[in-house]
Amino acid sequence: MTHLSEQERHTLWRIADVLVPATSTRPSLRDADPDGIWLDRALTARADLVGAAKEELARFESVDDLESAIVELHDTERVRFDVLATAVTGAYYLVPAVRELIGYPGQHRTPPRLEEAAEELSDEIFEAAMNYPGSYRPTPR
Amino acid sequence: MTIGDGAATPSDRADVLIIGAGPSGGVVAEHMARHGFSVVCLEQGRWVNSGEFPAIKPEWELLAQKQWYPEPNVRGNAEDYPTNVSESDVSPVMFAGVGGSTLIYSAHWMRLLPSDFRVKTLNGVADDWPITYEDLAPYYDRMDAAVGVAGLEGDPMYPEGMVPPLPPHPIGKIGRIAARGMNKMGWHWWPSPNAIASQKHGEFARCARWGTCETGCPEGAKSSFDLTHWPTAIRHGARLITGARVSTITVDAKGRADGAVYVDATGREHRQKARLVVVAANGIGTPRLLLLSAHGGAPNGLANSSGLVGKRLMLHPNAEVTGIYDEPLDSWLGPAGQAIHSLEFYETDPSRGFVGGAKWQVMPIGGPLRALSLHDRRPFAEKWGPAVHDRMDETLGRGLQWGINSQDMPEETNHVDLDPTLTDSNGIPAPRIRYRLSENTRKLLQFNLDRAVEAHEAAGAVRTVATDLWPEQPGHLLGTATMGTDPATSVVNEWNIAHDVPNLAIVDGSVMPTSGAVNPTATITALALRAAEHLTNNARWQEISE
């Protein structure tokens, strides 16, 4: 499913260049997701935002000084800004290469070693909890 | 859909009709079906398969913002009912389905403290419960065993005798760092009890540390009540009818509850007759239903001669302080779940200038979107543009949250009633919530927020970010059909039976006279089990409908 037209996607990429720009260590959204695969997945997950996102993209399509316009939107119309920011960051941080760069493995099975809990409670950190002097408040029967 | 005997629209008179298939409904159904009673349960939601949970999808954080969001108005599912929260500081959180809100709860399995049952005696405000901690302790023990609580015996803030059946989960880096700060302050902490299996336990898998407990456990390790109680209840003959939204509890000529009218998923109306009716629809749904069930003999609502149905709503307003640390904490790792908790500021201390206290718990932060959201209050240039990458590097995996679950006092001005215009998808009036934080609660929250910042600083946090009030947490819906001995000042007696209607029991959080400050599911289900046992043991003398 493609939620955005080619024009809309290009406008969103321009906005992404303002919000999450390329640096020497991080790619831009257009470079990280050139086919818009992750953008579409993000918008499928937040399909409720697609209509509002399209409206915003239409508004910003021919804006020249996009950075100033986006900053103004952030400062004055936060709900509208959040629609665009959610689409941009939602897509950007789905891209596997970006996740690798930020060190996020995603949610997955990571069962602990069986002895891990006991080991964590075997030093002076837990000693203090066991020696805590307080108690619950007694109640009259 | 009907599971059990296959009847689509059972018209036979049941011994027990339960309204709501959440945790307390599940406990009552399991107990009474096991003891030979014919049980029918009407549930407006459906079964949710664990394969539907979003945890396994890369889009988990995005899906948690909408389809799996805890506030029903945001989710907008047809089986949920809307709530009018325009006059409320906190929006009630809930989930309609088999297992109810335990499908999306964080499974913090905490008991009330003895003082919670004696608030009036100890503090001169609110009410004492008609029962004590000691009365409820055996039922807590049985619920601990039923859900497979993982934890560690010996918490000094509890009376002796609380022995979790499973060993604790690892507290992880987040727990150890937070504990380091608490130790410096000399404050209480303890490895937390969670209704999440730390080892394989019966049908439950061992926790694999998904950090997604609040959007459903894909592993089958979290004790949601669709897994803990409903399969057994059904094996013992209970009939669970999903997609069945009750519009009215009906009464016989003597005003005794004799069944319910419900609407199925197609909009068709049905009647279910019963000798005994048990309401388990949570602290919002129960008063809504009792008010919807007003009749000539009870014009202000069923079981409402006291006028307290819907009043005294308590929601445990939540706040939190996230600390950002200059070291990797793997803080996307579950369970979430609580790593450690603190009851240092739980008991009332008059020198603080407020009554009541709070329970704290350490939880992980989650993924990159949550990490970025911690900087929402910063100016544009400090969060976006090139700065976004710095914020991500500083925050992702390096934060831990001290959550603050606060005690709120029962106040009649905080209440649930029927909205004059808003309706659910079947056209039934929706609940209207009026809930405002009292001055006492505001002082309590601010005191605890300040202490939580200190706890982070002692632990070495390089930055703290506070949420003064979480408007859409935590889903603890309490107090709206309060328990007591006097019919003039309470709705149900000490066995959860309505004073006005001798064969109507209420078994959800609405019966709690005071809220305490711990997560309430352990208490709600212990009370439900106690009520079910009473009903079972006293069936011979139980007045029933004609």
Task: Give tens-digit pLDDT for A100-111.
Answer: 999 999 999 999
Query: Topology of B2-51+61-82+93-537 in CATH?
Result: FAD/NAD(P)-binding domain (3.50.50)
Q: What pLDDT does B1 receive?
A: 42
Mean pLDDT of B461-486: 96
Q: Which percentage of chain B shows pLDDT scores above 70? A: 98
CA distance readout (Å), A6 to A11, A20, A36, B155, B308? 9, 20, 10, 60, 59
Q: What pLDDT does A1 receive?
A: 62
The type of residue at B323 is: G
Separation of alpha carbons B267 and B44, rounded Å: 12
B74, pLDDT greater than 80 = yes
Tokens of B279: 């309401």
Separation of alpha carbons B291 and B218, rounded Å: 38
**Which of B65, B368, B380 lies closest to A75 in CB terms?**
B380
**Which of A85, A90, A128 lies closest to B62 in CB terms?**
A90
A126–B contact, CB cutoff 8 A: yes
Residues of A in contact with B397 (CB under 8 A): 103-104
Chains A, B: CB contacts under 8 A, how many? 159
B5, pLDDT greater than 50 = no
pTM of the entire predicted model: 0.97
Mean pLDDT of B49-61: 96
Mean pLDDT (chain B, rounded): 96
A79–B contact, CB cutoff 8 A: no
What are the φ and ψ backbone dihedral angles of B124, each rounded to 5 degrees? 75, 10
The kind and range of the H/E element at B27 are: helix B23-34
In this structure, how many other beta carbons lie within 10 angstroms of the beta carbon of residue B198? Answer: 24
Place of tokens 């006097």: B486
Residues of A in contact with B154 (CB under 8 A): 130
In this structure, how many other beta carbons lie within 10 angstroms of the beta carbon of residue B7? Answer: 12
What are the φ and ψ backbone dihedral angles of B251, each rounded to 5 degrees? -130, 160
Place of tokens 């003039």: B488
Burial class (CB in 10 A: 0-12, 13-18, 19+), B137: middle
**Contact (CB, 8 A) for B356 and B517:** yes
Q: Which of B388, B393, B518 to probe the A interface (max A CBs under 10 A)?
A: B388
How far does the CA of residue B45 sit from the closest CA of chain A (Å)?
22
Mean pLDDT of B180-185: 98
B7, pLDDT greater than 60 = no
Nearest to B407 by CA among B340, B359, B455: B359
B314, pLDDT greater than 80 = yes
Mean pLDDT of B71-96: 96
With a threshold of 0.95, tell me whether the complex ipTM lies above it: yes
How far does the CA of residue A8 sit from the closest CA of chain B (Å)?
21
Residues of A in contact with B182 (CB under 8 A): 128-129
Tokens of B342: 């603190």
Q: In which band, very low, low, confident or very high, does the pLDDT at B139 lie, cut at 50, 70 and 90?
A: very high
B270, pLDDT greater than 60 = yes
Q: How is chain A split into domains, by residue range?
A: 6-108
**Contact (CB, 8 A) for B508 and B416:** no
B2, pLDDT greater than 70 = no
B464, pLDDT greater than 70 = yes
Q: How is chain B split into domains, by residue range?
A: 2-51+61-82+93-537
Task: Give tens-digit pLDDT for A29-84.
Answer: 999 999 999 999 999 999 999 999 999 999 999 999 999 999 999 999 999 999 99
Residues of B in contact with A24 (CB under 8 A): none
Q: In which band, very low, low, confident or very high, does the pLDDT at B178 lie, cut at 50, 70 and 90?
A: very high
Nearest to B251 by CA among B299, B306, B293, B304: B293
Residues of A in contact with B132 (CB under 8 A): 139, 141
Interface contact flag, B388 A20, Cβ < 8 Å: yes
A64–B contact, CB cutoff 8 A: no
Q: What pLDDT does B11 receive?
A: 55
Residues of A in contact with B516 (CB under 8 A): none
Separation of alpha carbons B69 and B98, rounded Å: 17
Q: Which of A14, A131, A139 to probe the B interface (max B CBs under 10 A)?
A: A139
Interface contact flag, B56 A107, Cβ < 8 Å: yes
How far does the CA of residue A100 sit from the closest CA of chain B (Å)?
12
Q: In which band, very low, low, confident or very high, does the pLDDT at B12 lie, cut at 50, 70 and 90?
A: confident
Interface contact flag, B380 A71, Cβ < 8 Å: yes
Going B254 to B39 to B82 to B315, the CA torsion angle's sign is positive
Place of tokens 């605890």: B448
Mean pLDDT of B359-384: 97
Separation of alpha carbons B210 and B196, rounded Å: 11
Separation of alpha carbons B406 and B452, rounded Å: 13
How far does the CA of residue B295 sit from the closest CA of chain A (Å)?
41
Place of tokens 């939620």: A3
How big is the CA angle at B118 (ends B189 and B112), to the nearest 5 degrees?
A: 35
